[in-house]
Amino acid sequence: MNQAVRAIWTHESTEVIKTGSWRLALPAYVNLPAPCHKACPVEGNIAVWIQSVENQEYRDAWLTLIENNPFPAVTGRICHRPCEDSCNRGQLDEPIAIRCLERFVGDLAIDNGWAFPETAASKTETIAIVGGGPAGLAAAFHLRRMGYAVTLFDDQQQLGGVLRYGIPPYRLPKDILDAEIQRILDLGIDVRTNTRISSQTDFENLRAEFAAVFMATGAAVPKRLPQLDYSQPWVIESATYLEQTNSGDHAQCGERIVVIGGGSAAMDVARTARRQGKEVAVICLETETAMPAQRDEVLEAMDEGVTLIDGVMLRSVTDRALKGLELACVKVEFEAGAERGEFSVNSIAGTEFTIDADTIVAAIGQDPDITTLQDSLDVEAGLVRVDEQQQTSIAGVFAGGDLVTMQRFVTVAFGFGKRAATEIDRYLRSSTSASDSTPEQAVSTDMINTHYHPQAARAKQQMVPVAERQVSFDEVELALPGDEALAESQRCFSCGNCTFCDNCFDYCPDMAIKRENGGYRVNDDYCKGCGLCVRECPTGAIVMRQER
């Protein structure tokens, strides 16, 4: 008798059961922006190039850097580093030393003579850039790389603007600056130095001759204190002082110098004067921690023997001839206003005191020179008015840098140069402006699984000993050694940027993550939506998304 026996063994795979139907949300690889990227004035892809450093692919790191900033060796020294303030790692131990790493890569490029990649195919238009400071040079670089011909005008003998004539060599050595400027000029830029666009006719000629104009003449006019008689030989403007000393000349001044101001320029003057053996005091309205100068500049100045008298206002100066000057001062309560540069002060009665000095250097900020521009362009509160595309009231004329903002940071100016190039390109190609999609939220610390990031101390910035600093204009901050740079790069969370660590793949209980084309793909047939891959991701590169 032939009776069918019921199978007691399995003969099919569970793969016929599509467990994806259990799911409420699906993981997605999203590549959200890192907070450092969002904070960066040039929108640098910081997590990406740090990952290249970690992989010891230094040239790739540099190529990523220069996409947004042709001056990594400069910003690697003097950037005000808003990236580090926003760094998620700061919530765990200390932020990544991004600026040190940037300098490391920037210096490698100079040492190895790396050149910029080929520019795009030549375009017919020529763009005029007025001002060879940070904004103008950055714009020249980006426009040239897009294939435009660029003519760059500057009223000084050499290019660089504030980078050359404002920032002292012990913070930014001239050979570094020269190397990074030369690399831009090597792209083929028509440079017209010692050329001032000073009249309305000059300006009209530019408009007629060039397809577009970018104005970036900076802020070169010193603000003036009503308490000071600027006709006296014992009053010197900070810009004059720095320009003279940075070009190798010695400014004429006495032995006891009082610097007025709390910003970077005041620190630069004070530290320069210390290097010339002067006795230096800085007086500023703000309290020490509220000073607009970068914190480490203030600390380094004090290390070098600068006396800081904070929370103080100068009332008047008496010239006592051979006995020198007597500065009448009073303590004040300082309150910052809503905008940078706005403030109010109240003197505190009974706190009057005097300071002796021979020379006063005023470093209370500078304004753009808009005397000729205001005949042609709309201005507002001492700045040239621009729209969101950085275009002025005249079509085809763009402006950026200190001419349009009170945020007086070099990196901000680099960012203006970059955006101006993009907007000029859009204007000339008549393409629509940047997409109006809502800006993406940056990766937050709670999206990072910090288990995979063991505590590790931040790389320490090594400095030249104070005694040597006081007698030399050589660079103060030392380079990070290669092994320390590597260790520092390994501290980076790589927020939002997948490092292909395989955690999502390894921790999926349902084999629903597939390795594909050098990355990963979620197989939605089987993903049950547990979220383990998201939870165990060390970079915040995956998020759970509700499905419709």
Partner 1 sequence: MLRSGHAACPGCVLALSLRHILNTLGPETMAVAAPSCAALICGAQPCSSMKIPVYQTTLESSAAAASGLRRALDTKGKQDTTVVVIAGDGGTYDIGFQALSSAVERNEDMIYFCFDNEGYMNTGGQKSSATPLYASTGSTPAGKLSKKKNLTEIMAAHEIPYAATASAAHLADLVRKVEKAKGIRGTRIITVLIPCLPGWGLPDDEAIATARLAVDTGVFPLYEVEEGQRYTLNQTTRTRPVKDYLMTQKRYRHLSAEDRDEIQLMVDRNWTRLAERSATS
Closest approach of Cβ 18 to partner 1, in Å?
7
- Per-residue H/E/C for 301-338: HHHCCCEEEECEEEEEEEECHHHCEEEEEEEEEEEECC
DSSP state letters, 82-127: HHHHH-GGGGTS----HHHHHHHHHHHHHHHTPPPPPPPSP-S-EE
Told to check if 524 binds partner 1 by CB under 8 A, we report: no
Tell me the C-alpha to C-alpha distance, in Å, between residue 136 and each of 151, 170, 412, 419, 511. 10, 24, 12, 11, 53
Tell me the C-alpha to C-alpha distance, in Å, between residue 190 and each of 149, 182, 212, 218. 8, 12, 15, 20
Closest approach of Cβ 492 to partner 1, in Å?
22
Out of 98, 176, 534, 541, name the contact with partner 1 by CB under 8 A. Answer: 534
| Distance from C-alpha of 497 to C-alpha of 448, rounded to nearest angstrom | 11
Closest approach of Cβ 446 to partner 1, in Å?
13
Out of 220, 391, 526, 538, name the contact with partner 1 by CB under 8 A. Answer: 526
- Binding segment for partner 1 (CB under 8 A), chosen from 164-172, 222-230, 396-404, 524-532, is 524-532
* Beta-carbon contacts of residue 436 (< 8 Å; ≥ 6 apart): none
- Binding segment for partner 1 (CB under 8 A), chosen from 118-126, 327-335, 346-354, 531-539, is 531-539
Closest approach of Cβ 261 to partner 1, in Å?
49
Stretch 488-507 residues interacting with partner 1 (CB under 8 A): 506-507
| Distance from C-alpha of 456 to C-alpha of 291, rounded to nearest angstrom | 30
- Binding segment for partner 1 (CB under 8 A), chosen from 17-25, 193-201, 298-306, 438-446, is 17-25
The count of chain residues that interact with partner 1, using the rule CB under 8 A, is 32
Told to check if 516 binds partner 1 by CB under 8 A, we report: no
- Binding segment for partner 1 (CB under 8 A), chosen from 230-238, 303-311, 420-428, 534-542, is 534-542
Kindly state the tokens that stand for 323: 């006995």
| Distance from C-alpha of 446 to C-alpha of 423, rounded to nearest angstrom | 36
Closest approach of Cβ 12 to partner 1, in Å?
5
Cα R_g (the chain), whole angstroms: 28
Question: How would you classify the pairing of strands 359-362 and 190-192?
Answer: unpaired
Contact letters for partner 1, residues 426-465 (x by CB under 8 A): -------------------------x--------------
Residue pair 252/273 in contact (Cβ under 8 Å)? The answer is no
* Beta-carbon contacts of residue 397 (< 8 Å; ≥ 6 apart): 207, 212, 213, 215, 377, 391
Told to check if 230 binds partner 1 by CB under 8 A, we report: no
Out of 2, 3, 10, 430, name the contact with partner 1 by CB under 8 A. Answer: 10
Told to check if 530 binds partner 1 by CB under 8 A, we report: yes
**Burial class of residue 443 in the structure, from the number of CB atoms within 10 Å of its CB (0-12 exposed, 13-18 middle, 19+ buried):** buried
Out of 17, 348, 471, 478, name the contact with partner 1 by CB under 8 A. Answer: 17
What residues form DSSP beta bridges with 330? 313
| Distance from C-alpha of 175 to C-alpha of 182, rounded to nearest angstrom | 10
Chain centroid to Cα 159, Å, comes to: 20
H runs (alpha helix) in 188-315: 200-209, 238-246, 264-275, 295-303
Closest approach of Cβ 449 to partner 1, in Å?
8
- Binding segment for partner 1 (CB under 8 A), chosen from 227-235, 294-302, 456-464, 520-528, is 520-528
Angle at 506 between CA 505 and CA 508, to 5 degrees: 70
Told to check if 512 binds partner 1 by CB under 8 A, we report: yes
Closest approach of Cβ 543 to partner 1, in Å?
12
Told to check if 5 binds partner 1 by CB under 8 A, we report: no
Stretch 303-362 residues interacting with partner 1 (CB under 8 A): none
Q: Which is nearer to partner 1, 9 or 432 (CB)?
A: 9
- Binding segment for partner 1 (CB under 8 A), chosen from 5-13, 110-118, 124-132, 239-247, is 5-13
Out of 5, 16, 338, 381, name the contact with partner 1 by CB under 8 A. Answer: 16
Stretch 18-37 residues interacting with partner 1 (CB under 8 A): 18-19, 22-23
Q: Which is nearer to partner 1, 350 or 509 (CB)?
A: 509
Out of 509, 516, 518, 546, name the contact with partner 1 by CB under 8 A. Answer: 509
Closest approach of Cβ 447 to partner 1, in Å?
12
* CA nearest to 166, candidates 40, 52, 264, 96: 264
Stretch 67-126 residues interacting with partner 1 (CB under 8 A): none
| Distance from C-alpha of 139 to C-alpha of 2, rounded to nearest angstrom | 89
The residue ranges that bind partner 1 (CB under 8 A) are 7, 10-19, 22-23, 451, 506-512, 523, 525-526, 528-532, 534-536
